[in-house]
A and B are shown apart, each in its own frame.
Chain A
């Protein structure tokens, strides 16, 4: 997932922080299927990242 979200730790941090500020869930704590179950793919898609 780091590769998709910008490719390095700093960019992963950036996306994780932005999303946590919006919806209160930290991506670091989740696997892809959990993100799907929690409806997090849509906010990620808003940010231009399609993970499905």
Chain B
């Protein structure tokens, strides 16, 4: 049995008390929480760790929180994973100020040592990871690449912490510790089968373009098919450059198609020299499409139902939903329908500044269902 809890908000102490009274004596192996950036996440994780001694507690700040029934901004959502779901688990916090590579290697290797497993040989049907990365330092690609290098067959799903669109500071937490420039990792040795979900509701609008000049570290694309990226993008939408606005960015991100599935890169804005800035890296030589939206509710429901069918039933999960999807759902008045997709499951989720699984992506819902 899973134990979920949700608070719509208040001061940190009130919210902790409300959540603890909902969770009761649940004796979790791991506890994952998503908290508004206005709350004291370090205090929250410390309180949970104190209440549930021995549980690994991780969490992060958000651009909105939800469970299967409620969603909001300014609150706290929690999922407690007891022993019937998780045999054992270990978490770690990497502070990137010490050097990202050293920090990630050190923490992930320490997790493997504590679990006494070889990350490259561990059974991907038994072990699954959660990764929460601060959302303000553009470290997500390298963190995901490092996880892929260290454990190429294991899934680490997760998201980038948010601060409800203030873009000032995001934080991740583990067992009372906090970082505004780092990542937390939780590796779970599961007692039950699980599935990763990844759903984004887009399809290619037309023909593909090849990225012919880009700056990876700035997440900037200067040229597509040898022409100015902004001009190619505007032409694809049948608009003049000065007619483009944020609604076009949200409705028409770029996407890579891998084995028929889209991996979305969202537009951030234009650079003065006619390039496009993204929330995700795009390499030179990549073939990308301008995308158009499909049915977000139907496809989210199908992704959840498909995972449940494959598992022959499921009890809950952790969800990492892009802030662009939140804004899209709010604009269309579909937030309740989106929550309804999780009916019958105990869910904790948050609206992210980016989603992780295999790599970093945008405008997507990733999650773990078990």
- Partner pick for B359 among A11, A13, A16, A21, CB 8 A cutoff: A21
How far in angstroms is the closest Cβ of chain B from A48? Answer: 6
A29-52 CB mask vs B (1 if < 8 Å, else 0) is: 000000000000000001111000
Cβ of B285 and Cβ of A20 under 8 Å apart?
no
Known: A25-B285, A26-B258. A14 touches B153 (CB 8 A): yes
B274-307 CB mask vs A (1 if < 8 Å, else 0) is: 0000000001011100000000000000000000
- Which chain B positions have C-beta within 8 A of A15? 152-153
Q: Complex: how many Å from CA A28 to CA B361?
A: 21
- Which chain A positions have C-beta within 8 A of B359? 17-18, 21-22
B263 within 8 A of A: yes
How far in angstroms is the closest Cβ of chain B from A46? Answer: 6
How far in angstroms is the closest Cβ of chain A from B317? Answer: 20
How far in angstroms is the closest Cβ of chain B from A42? Answer: 12
Cβ of A47 and Cβ of B256 under 8 Å apart?
no
Q: Complex: how many Å from CA A49 to CA B152?
A: 10
Cβ of A24 and Cβ of B283 under 8 Å apart?
yes
Question: Contact size class for B?
Answer: 20 to 34
Q: Complex: how many Å from CA A25 to CA B283?
A: 10
Q: Complex: how many Å from CA A16 to CA B155?
A: 14
Q: Complex: how many Å from CA A15 to CA B162?
A: 29
- Partner pick for A17 among B124, B149, B283, B358, CB 8 A cutoff: B358
Cβ of A21 and Cβ of B153 under 8 Å apart?
no
Cβ of B153 and Cβ of A6 under 8 Å apart?
yes
Cβ of B152 and Cβ of A47 under 8 Å apart?
yes
Q: Complex: how many Å from CA A30 to CA B40?
A: 50
B145 within 8 A of A: yes
Cβ of A48 and Cβ of B149 under 8 Å apart?
yes
Interface of A is mostly: helix
Cβ of B285 and Cβ of A18 under 8 Å apart?
no
Total chain A interface residues with beta-carbon distance under 8 A: 21
- Which chain A positions have C-beta within 8 A of B287? 24
Interface residues of B in 137-196 (CB under 8 A from A): 145, 148-149, 152-153, 155
Known: A23-B285, A24-B287, A47-B149. A11 touches B259 (CB 8 A): no
Cβ of A48 and Cβ of B120 under 8 Å apart?
yes
- Partner pick for B256 among A16, A21, A46, A49, CB 8 A cutoff: A21
- Which chain B positions have C-beta within 8 A of A28? 259
Cβ of A24 and Cβ of B285 under 8 Å apart?
yes
Q: Look across to chain B and name the residue whose beta carbon is closest to the beta carbon of A38.
A: B285
Most chain B Cβ neighbours within 10 Å, of A16, A17, A18, A21: A21
Cβ of B256 and Cβ of A24 under 8 Å apart?
yes
A1 within 8 A of B: no
How far in angstroms is the closest Cβ of chain B from A6? Answer: 5
B95-133 CB mask vs A (1 if < 8 Å, else 0) is: 000000000000000000000000010001000000000
Interface residues of A (CB under 8 A from B): 6, 10-11, 13-18, 20-26, 28, 46-49
26 A-B residue pairings within 8 Å (CB atoms): A6-B152, A6-B153, A10-B153, A14-B153, A14-B155, A14-B358, A15-B153, A16-B258, A17-B359, A18-B145, A18-B148, A18-B152, A20-B256, A21-B258, A21-B359, A21-B360, A21-B361, A22-B283, A23-B286, A24-B256, A24-B283, A24-B286, A25-B285, A47-B148, A48-B149, A49-B152
List of 4 A-B pairs having minimum Cβ-Cβ separation, nearest first: A24-B286, A21-B359, A18-B148, A11-B153
